[in-house]
């Protein structure tokens, strides 16, 4: 009995040793599997984006764009708002105070207006996570135009293709913006119910024309 128990113990130990010594094969996952996984989570836009918070976007860490129409714009216009990470406020902390909202705050660069012949009535856009590409259609009262856009992963280049259909035409114009920090503008607009700290921030000099 003791001999059988000893043999069983040695046999079990040998099996455990073999399992421990056997190299584990890494599970191979085909790229198509990742593509199918990400496709289920692509961002879909079926309403005209009217704020940057809900706009389709693309970027590579330095340059990028957002695609939306501001409520103040004409109904036949939608814009490509572009930006750069290294285009920022160069003011230093003011009088020894750590104004983090001042230091290195990004500045607005400008936007391209896409002006259609007809009124923009809807969008059907998809942000493909696998290809990092924005594709889709903007529908107007005169037809539609297709878009395909991306930001290059290595080069600081934004590609934005536009293909009108039907009786539609699209005019593209560039509109630069003043290099004014958005936080500074907000401080100047708010005139009432401001705290002492808020007042101090609002009076930090802005040495820009």
Which CATH number fits the domain that encloses residue 140? 2.70.98.50
Q: Is 15 a domain residue?
A: no
Q: Is 21 a domain residue?
A: no
Q: Is 3 a domain residue?
A: no
Residue 185: predicted pLDDT? 75
Question: What are the angstrom distances between the C-alpha of 187 and each of 4, 71, 165, 199, 205?
Answer: 86, 22, 45, 8, 12
CB-based contacts of 92, cutoff 8 Å, min separation 6: 103
Q: What percent of the chain has pLDDT over 70?
A: 74
- Parent domain of 69: 39-191
Average pLDDT rounded to a whole number, residues 119-128: 98
In the block, which residue shows the tokens 């043999």?
7
Q: Are 76 and 115 in contact (CB under 8 A)?
A: yes
Q: Are 49 and 134 in contact (CB under 8 A)?
A: no
Q: CA 136 to CA 157: how far, in whole Å?
A: 20
Tokens of 31: 């790229």
Q: Is 196 a domain residue?
A: no
The 10s digit of each residue's pLDDT in 43-88 is 999 999 999 999 999 999 999 999 999 999 999 999 999 999 888 8
The 10s digit of each residue's pLDDT in 86-121 is 888 776 666 556 555 555 678 899 999 999 999 999
Q: Is 206 a domain residue?
A: no
Question: How does residue 41 score in pLDDT terms, banded at 50, 70 and 90?
Answer: very high
Mean pLDDT of the chain, nearest integer: 83
Q: What is the pTM of this model?
A: 0.76
Q: Is 121 a domain residue?
A: yes
Give the number of other CB atoms < 10 A from CB of residue 52: 12
Q: Is 16 a domain residue?
A: no
Question: How does residue 6 score in pLDDT terms, banded at 50, 70 and 90?
Answer: very low
HSE (side-chain half, CA atoms, 13 Å) at 121: 10
Closest CA to 65 of 74, 78, 56: 56
| pLDDT surpasses 90 at 21 | no
Give the number of other CB atoms < 10 A from CB of residue 14: 10
Q: Is 153 a domain residue?
A: yes
Tokens of 49: 């984006």
| pLDDT surpasses 70 at 157 | yes
Q: How many domains are there within the chain? A: 1
Residue 200: predicted pLDDT? 72
């Amino acid at each position: 009995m003791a001999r059988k128990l000893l043999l069983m113990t040695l046999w079990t130990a040998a099996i455990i040793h073999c399992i421990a010594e056997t190299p584990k094969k890494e599970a191979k996952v085909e790229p198509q599997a990742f593509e199918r996984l990400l496709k289920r989570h692509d961002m879909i836009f079926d309403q005209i984006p009217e704020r940057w918070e809900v706009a389709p976007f693309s970027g590579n860490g330095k340059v990028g764009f957002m695609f939306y129409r501001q409520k103040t714009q004409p109904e036949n216009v939608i814009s490509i708002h572009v930006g750069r990470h290294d285009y920022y406020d160069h003011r230093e902390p003011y009088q020894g105070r750590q104004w983090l909202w001042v230091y290195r705050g990004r500045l607005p660069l400008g936007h391209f207006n896409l002006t259609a012949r007809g009124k923009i009535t809807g969008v059907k856009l998809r942000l493909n996570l696998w290809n990092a590409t924005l594709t889709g259609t903007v529908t107007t009262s005169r037809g539609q135009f297709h878009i395909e856009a991306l930001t290059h992963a290595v080069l600081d280049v934004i590609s934005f293709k536009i293909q009108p259909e039907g009786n539609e035409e699209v005019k593209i114009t560039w509109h630069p913006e003043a290099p004014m920090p958005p936080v500074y503008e907000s401080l100047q607009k708010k005139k009432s119910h401001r705290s002492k700290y808020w007042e101090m921030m609002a009076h930090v000099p802005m040495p820009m024309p």
